[in-house]
Amino acid sequence: MIFSDIHGDLRALERAIAQPADMYISAGDLSTFGRGLERCGPLLAPLGERAWILPGNHESHADTQKFCHEFGLVDFHRQVRKAGASVWAGLGYSNITPFNTPGEYTEEEIAQALSEFDSLTQFYLAVHVPPFGTLLDEYAPGKHGGSPAVRAWVERKQPLGLYCGHIHETAGMEDRVGATPCFNVGKAGKIAEV
């Protein structure tokens, strides 16, 4: 189960983690500007190492590292992990926003972070920010807020699936980048069958 953009909505978090799954990935923004993060901890703590946490643009990596340490969860930012036979890469943060949030990378920093996963084959990608110019990142008609660096990397590497959030207006949408199915999971989340 992969979900994103809870923004302190504990009922939505409860609904997401009530769905039976082998693991749970928070693809960022459990909080709003870091506020409300601690309140999510007691709900996620029983999942332990089955809960993998990415910082969105509303958390710094230091925030989520401390949070994971405190509640016994997995810091998944810029990490590769296995779940059963499947391999997953995780990258939090968004591209630059107009809102000056704590978890933002330039496109160059996103490209550099993704390049750390270049050796992977047959893997899934969980990122906070969607690929640019897709159904997943259109926040207003004809306006796209996703990352060109994510899109370029996915076009080249073709992961088995991409799961993101960040753009609330397109939560629940799916699209493809090349052969890669891509999903904006939103706060309702999505079960990934792998």
The confidence band for 136, taking pLDDT boundaries of 50, 70 and 90, is very high
How far lies 1's CA from each of 92, 115, 169, in Å?
Answer: 17, 26, 20
Show me where the domains of the chain are located.
Answer: 2-184
Among 121, 50, 64, which Cα is nearest to 92's?
64
2-184: CATH topology: Purple Acid Phosphatase; chain A, domain 2 (3.60.21)
0.95 cut: is pTM over it?
yes
Nearest to 111 by CA among 135, 127, 133, 98: 127
Contact by Cβ (8 Å): 148, 108: no
Are residues 167 and 147 in contact, defined by beta-carbon separation less than 8 angstroms? no
- Pairwise CA distance, residues 50 & 62, whole Å: 20
Angle at 170 between CA 164 and CA 174, to 5 degrees: 65
pLDDT the model gives residue 64: 98
Residue 148 CA from chain centroid, whole number: 16
Q: Could you give the C-alpha distances from 118 to 52, 106, 128, 178, in angstroms and in order?
A: 21, 19, 18, 17
Instruction: Write down the mean pLDDT value for the chain.
Output: 97
Q: What is the pLDDT of residues 81-129, one digit of tens each?
A: 999 999 999 999 999 999 999 999 999 999 999 999 999 999 999 999 9
pLDDT of residue 106: 98
3-class DSSP assignment, residue 163: strand
Distance of CA 100 to the CA centre of its chain: 19
| pLDDT of amino acid 1 | 97
Residues 50-66, mean pLDDT to the nearest whole number = 98
pLDDT range class, residue 3, cuts 50, 70, 90: very high
State the pLDDT confidence band at 57, using cuts at 50, 70 and 90: very high
Q: For residue 139, what pLDDT band results from cuts at 50, 70 and 90?
A: very high
Which tens digit of pLDDT belongs to each residue from 142-183? Answer: 999 999 999 999 999 999 999 999 999 999 999 999 999 999
Tell me how far apart the alpha carbons of residues 33 and 84 are, in angstroms, rounded to a whole number.
Answer: 34
* Predicted confidence band of residue 34 (pLDDT cuts 50, 70, 90): very high
The confidence score (pLDDT) of residue 108 equals 98
